[in-house]
């Protein structure tokens, strides 16, 4: 994975702490809601018992003297000592009588008749019982009860708020630490200054337009690009000299004679190979993929792009003279390639002081334009580090709608790179396949 993608990926520790914060938050709210619900249920049962006791007390006190001073005092003391009773109304043939724990809170008088005021968490309708008192007729008692213990609820809400604040504080600290870690990782791998890779659907205009290929039956040679352009297109029909490409018209002899991509530039006159390490881990000491892993990953990407009907371009970049690029300059070159192409896992070492870049979703024109842009970007930095100019050459090939394997597309890109090394005018050469000849080749081998 690239460094840019790793920055947005949460760590395992932050994920566990986030889950813990959610559990604390839900647990605190559940505790508060359950505690208040149980308190209300308990107070409902208590209110039923206290109302029944009050009714028995009123019946007993009424025998000694109905609505005299001791009777009234007994009822008021019972209400004041109750945990749930808030107001009582007693009606009889002698009139209506009201009693409250706090005057004016639950009872109001309307036309000299007491009425209960509707309130939150107060029993509605009021509790009611007829009383049997000797010497009195039509005696009834009504009462309203408070089901919510406000002091207890406030205490529960304080505890719930404490748990919620603790979970929020833990989440904030975790996010802060994760942000600091991501910034540290970002400083280790700077953000690329180049625009995002061009996808197949972007249809961006290439920076360089390839020359038109002449008709096959015209008998003319392919037109060369103007001298001021530093690019070239290598077609299947390029047969100009003895050092030209092998015939890429997919004949049986050419397919059988195709050499491995790793041996394309093994000419005797090239500089001797540098010390090569045995592949250990995913990336080499230069910070890019090992060359031995190229074909496996390229086959995988070709299969994926074929299944999604996407194009794929393979770009080979190396110095024309490998000896001109020292170890430190090659390290800088690889670092610049990672910053520009972004996907570190799609960049691999290529022979002596070179790289091969897999570009899923890019066609030949777009790969051409990005190669030119990368060359302009890296030339100045490498020249400044090396103390002299370095001539980079590019070889490009693309899938172009073909069912092609890694060996063949690498061979095409390698031969394009070889042609670029031998061209005085063009430092970028792209292999342009002929779809019609490819279809004929597939048909003949069915």
Q: Find the radius of gyration of the CA atoms of the chain.
A: 44
The Cα 364–Cα 35 span in angstroms is 69
In a domain, 29, yes or no: yes
Which residue, of 151, 175, 200, is where some domain finishes? 151
The pLDDT value given to residue 225 = 41
In a domain, 64, yes or no: yes
pTM for the model stands at 0.40
Residue 205 has pLDDT above 60, yes or no: no
In a domain, 297, yes or no: yes
Looking at the structure, tell me whether residues 332 and 428 fall in a common domain.
Answer: yes
Which residue, of 151, 176, 203, is where some domain finishes? 151
In a domain, 356, yes or no: yes
The pLDDT value given to residue 277 = 65
The pLDDT value given to residue 180 = 84
Provide mean pLDDT across the span 220-238: 45
Domains in the chain, number: 2
Looking at the structure, tell me whether residues 147 and 220 fall in a common domain.
Answer: no
Looking at the structure, tell me whether residues 313 and 434 fall in a common domain.
Answer: yes
Residue 200 has pLDDT above 60, yes or no: no
Looking at the structure, tell me whether residues 101 and 223 fall in a common domain.
Answer: no
Residue 207 has pLDDT above 90, yes or no: no
In a domain, 166, yes or no: no
| CA 273 and chain centroid, separation | 43
Provide mean pLDDT across the span 68-77: 86
The rounded percent of the chain whose pLDDT value lies above 90 is 19
Model pLDDT for residues 385-411, shown as the tens digit of each residue? 555 678 889 999 998 888 889 999 999
335 or 134, greater pLDDT: 335
Provide mean pLDDT across the span 354-359: 93
Q: Looking at 310-324, 370-384, 395-409, which range is the least confident one?
A: 370-384
Residue 220 has pLDDT above 50, yes or no: no
The Cα 432–Cα 416 span in angstroms is 10
For residue 268, give the CATH number of its domain: 3.30.70.270
Smallest CA-to-CA distance from 53 within 92, 79, 34 is with: 79
The pLDDT value given to residue 28 = 86
In a domain, 160, yes or no: no
The pLDDT value given to residue 268 = 39
Mean of the per-residue pLDDT values of the chain:
76
In a domain, 315, yes or no: yes
Q: CB pairs under 8 A, 24+ apart, for 41-47?
A: 43/83, 43/84, 43/145, 43/146, 43/147, 43/148, 43/149, 44/147, 46/83, 46/84, 47/84, 47/85, 47/123, 47/127, 47/145, 47/147
* pLDDT category of residue 67 using cuts at 50, 70 and 90: confident
Model pLDDT for residues 6-42, shown as the tens digit of each residue? 445 567 777 888 888 888 889 889 989 999 999 988 9
Model pLDDT for residues 409-435, shown as the tens digit of each residue? 999 999 999 998 888 788 899 888 777
262 or 279, greater pLDDT: 279
Model pLDDT for residues 39-56, shown as the tens digit of each residue? 988 988 998 898 898 888
Q: Looking at 154-163, 309-318, 381-390, which range is the least confident one?
A: 381-390
Q: Looking at 53-57, 150-154, 366-370, 437-441, which range is the least confident one?
A: 437-441
The pLDDT value given to residue 224 = 41
In a domain, 280, yes or no: yes
Residue 323 has pLDDT above 90, yes or no: no
The pLDDT value given to residue 338 = 92
The pLDDT value given to residue 226 = 36
**β-strand 347-350 against 392-398: which pairing, if any?**
unpaired
Q: Looking at 58-62, 269-273, 348-352, 388-392, which range is the least confident one?
A: 269-273
The Cα 273–Cα 287 span in angstroms is 20
Q: Looking at 68-77, 116-125, 292-301, which range is the least confident one?
A: 116-125
The pLDDT value given to residue 347 = 93
The Cα 363–Cα 24 span in angstroms is 52
The pLDDT value given to residue 376 = 87
Which residue, of 97, 128, 151, is where some domain finishes? 151
Q: Please, what is the Cα angle at 149 between 75 and 47, to 5 degrees? A: 45
Q: Looking at 58-67, 282-291, 360-369, 389-398, which range is the least confident one?
A: 58-67
* pLDDT category of residue 198 using cuts at 50, 70 and 90: very low
The CA dihedral of 289, 293, 295, 301, to the nearest 10 degrees, is -60
User: Which residue range forms the structural domain that includes residue 273?
Assistant: 216-444
The pLDDT value given to residue 233 = 57
The Cα 141–Cα 315 span in angstroms is 96
Residue 157 has pLDDT above 50, yes or no: yes
Highest mean pLDDT among 15-19, 250-254, 379-383: 15-19
Residue 331 has pLDDT above 50, yes or no: yes
């Amino acid at each position: 994975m690239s460094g840019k993608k790793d920055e947005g990926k949460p760590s395992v520790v932050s994920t566990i702490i986030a889950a813990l914060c959610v559990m604390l938050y839900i647990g605190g709210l559940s505790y508060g809601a359950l505690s208040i619900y149980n308190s209300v249920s308990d107070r409902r049962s208590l209110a039923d018992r206290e109302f029944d006791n009050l009714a028995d007390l009123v019946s007993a006190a009424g025998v000694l003297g109905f609505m005299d001073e001791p009777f009234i005092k007994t009822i008021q003391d019972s209400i004041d000592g109750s945990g749930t009773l808030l107001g009582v109304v007693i009606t009889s043939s002698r009139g209506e009588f009201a009693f409250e724990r706090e005057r004016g809170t639950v009872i109001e008088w309307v036309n000299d008749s007491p009425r209960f005021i509707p309130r939150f968490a107060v029993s509605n309708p009021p509790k009611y019982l007829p009383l049997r008192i000797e010497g009195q007729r039509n005696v009834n008692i009504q009462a309203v009860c408070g089901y919510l213990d406000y002091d207890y609820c406030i205490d529960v809400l304080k505890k719930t708020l404490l748990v919620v604040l603790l979970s929020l504080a833990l989440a904030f600290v975790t996010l802060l630490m994760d942000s600091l870690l991501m910034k540290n990782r970002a400083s280790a791998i700077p953000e690329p200054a180049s625009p995002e890779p061009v996808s197949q659907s972007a249809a961006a205009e290439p920076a360089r337009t390839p020359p038109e290929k002449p008709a096959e039956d015209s008998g003319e040679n392919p037109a060369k690009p103007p001298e001021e352009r530093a690019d070239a297109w290598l077609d299947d029909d390029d047969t100009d000299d003895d050092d030209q490409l092998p015939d890429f018209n997919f004949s049986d002899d050419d397919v059988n004679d195709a050499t491995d991509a790793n041996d394309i530039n093994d000419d005797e006159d090239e500089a001797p190979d540098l010390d090569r390490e045995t592949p250990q881990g995913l990336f080499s000491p230069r910070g890019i993929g090992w060359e031995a892993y190229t074909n496996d990953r390229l086959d995988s990407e070709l299969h994926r792009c074929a299944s999604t009907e996407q194009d794929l371009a393979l770009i080979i970049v190396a110095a024309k003279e490998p000896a001109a690029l020292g170890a430190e300059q090659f390290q800088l070159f690889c670092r610049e390639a990672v910053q520009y192409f972004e996907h570190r896992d799609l960049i691999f070492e290529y022979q002596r002081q070179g790289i091969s870049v897999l570009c899923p979703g890019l066609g030949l024109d777009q790969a051409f334009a990005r190669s030119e842009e990368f060359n302009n970007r890296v030339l100045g930095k490498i020249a400044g580090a090396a103390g002299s100019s370095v001539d980079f050459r590019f070889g490009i090939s693309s899938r172009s709608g073909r069912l092609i394997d890694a060996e063949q597309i690498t061979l095409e890109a390698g031969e394009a790179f070889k042609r670029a090394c031998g061209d005085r005018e063009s430092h970028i050469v792209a292999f342009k396949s002929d779809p019609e000849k490819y279809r004929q080749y597939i048909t003949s081998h069915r």
